[in-house]
Amino acid sequence: MDHATQIHALRPSAPLERLDVPARSLPVFRCDVLVVGSGVAGLSAALTAADRGAHVMVLCKGGIQETNTRYAQGGMAAAIGDGDRPEFHAGDTLNVGGGISEYDVVKAITGCGPDAVDWLLRLGMRMDRNPSGGIALSREGGHNIPRILHSDGTATGLEIQRVLGLAVRSHDRIDLYEHTTVVDLLKDAEGRVGGVAALMCRTPRDHPAPVLFEGGAVVLATGGGGQIFRETTNPELATADGLAMALRAGAVLQDLEFVQFHPTILYLAGAARFLISEVTRGAGGRLRDREGNAFMAAAHPDAELAPRDVVSRAIFRRIVETGDTNVYLDLSGVVDADRRFSSLARIAREFGIDIAKEPIPVRPAVHYFIGGIAADLHGRTSVEGLWAAGECASTGFHGANRMGSNSLLEGVVQGRLVGAAAASDCAASVRRFLLPKPGSAPPVHGAELSLTDMTYSLKSVMWRQAGIERDAAGLADALERLERWEDYLARLGPFTRAGVEVVNMVQVAQLIALSALFREESRGAHFRSDHPAAVEAWQLHSRVRWREGGLELGTSPVASPAAEGGVGQS
């Protein structure tokens, strides 16, 4: 990280420092592989490690079903159709990735797609079928061939969550701890991560109590942090916990400026921000402004099926130009729209909209964190003993922009690879006694801190100043506010789940703003209105980590750029 390195004198506070009892007095739970998170990546890792003979513990902040995975509607991409090949899938993924995808990672994950589908089928996953009985495949933005498989139309993530959850609950080498909020990573005297401190509820109604978990390998599969932004498709649990914990443990984080916005969420006063799948546009849905004008054809040759960053920015600009709060998705030209998109039709109907006849108000929302904890294909991070899988990891698979339906594929494939590697590593590791840092910053009584108000303020600042379009002035102002909030959160933030989540969100928001300010160009999901063009010299990964001197921000080269002519084109 020596290219254009910057040092920012910020020290992320550790929530564990506000623990008001001796850490050595806490109960300890021990296993071989400790998995934090119960989405597709975490459960795939847990099942694979357990099948390799490891004793696995899975920690879930909510119930096992409360994950981003269960809300994934678009489907899962895999090159299993006639005329498709993994190298075609790899080529499309690289085309969308904005020049910073890691070719070896892309090739490996897309190459494992057919096997991932077979594994899910063996576990009992139900997939939609075509009239001849084969797996039905659709096309989404960025994919030049239909390769998206679904379950019950738009319930693919829910079905994957169901199948993996059942397998985990029935596995005799996996212990599941629900309603357990992980607070911080713990290291031994040699600096190896070997466990976590957590707040655990025996039942959902219990008051959470601090406990320690120890594992020969610790896998973070905590998902993203969409709750940092005002408009998001993510559930309330998505508060960037894994990224913040990895930062405080000294791990390198990568490409955090790349936050993907889904172009279309239902936008009605009082309505939950319901994600409207890209499948609707693949089926012929059209985006129109208030006057009924279709505008995507002028923005990109693929119109409604352009990459998500293009569609999101086109919608954002049309909203600015018209002074409206949203645009509209017109499904009147889609045959049998009510049946094909039954969940959307049902929710829209409750708000008085017939999707077959009336346009649906939509706007973009934060959907997916492309950046995360820097990790290799097998999940190894820069800190010994710490692994990362799924959305919280940054392997270089997505590059600067995630292609639709690649995330569930990545979660299954990389999760299984991480589980196998972690099981092998923990078998060879020697257990060392953990040395958690004793509490040094007891809560301050007197001043009151409204976590709800701080959360709303954070969401608003990040949406306005680090959202779809950014500039230096807005980012610098956001950073100034975030640094001030971090300062008094370190003193006033309570040692509770909500207190930990707010600290995590503020710290990761700082990293996003810093990384976005650092990258003085526009690439993929990152757009700077004051630097609107891509710059060849910035065809690099951004990287950030915390050292005693502060936050160190720099770059690293793309390790495995695609060789010219080395990827098939569909």
Pairing mode of beta strands 286-288, 180-187: unpaired
259, containing H or E segment: strand 259-266
Asked whether 69 and 160 are in contact (CB, 8 A), the reply is yes
Is position 340 annotated as part of the catalytic site?
no
Asked whether 470 and 259 are in contact (CB, 8 A), the reply is no
Q: Which string of b and e fits 165-176 if b means at least 16 CB within 10 Å?
A: bebbeebebbbb
Catalytic hit among 18, 281, 308, 481: 308
SS3 451: helix
Asked whether 264 and 283 are in contact (CB, 8 A), the reply is no
- Name residue, tokens 């084109």: 569
| 159 CB burial (10 A radius; 0-12, 13-18, 19+) | buried
- Name residue, tokens 């009082």: 270
- Tell me which amino acid residue 58 is: V
Q: Which string of b and e fits 443-480 if b means at least 16 CB within 10 Å?
A: eeeeeebebeebbeebbebbbebbbbbbeeebbeebbe
Paired tokens of 351: 């708000």
- Active site residue ranges: 308
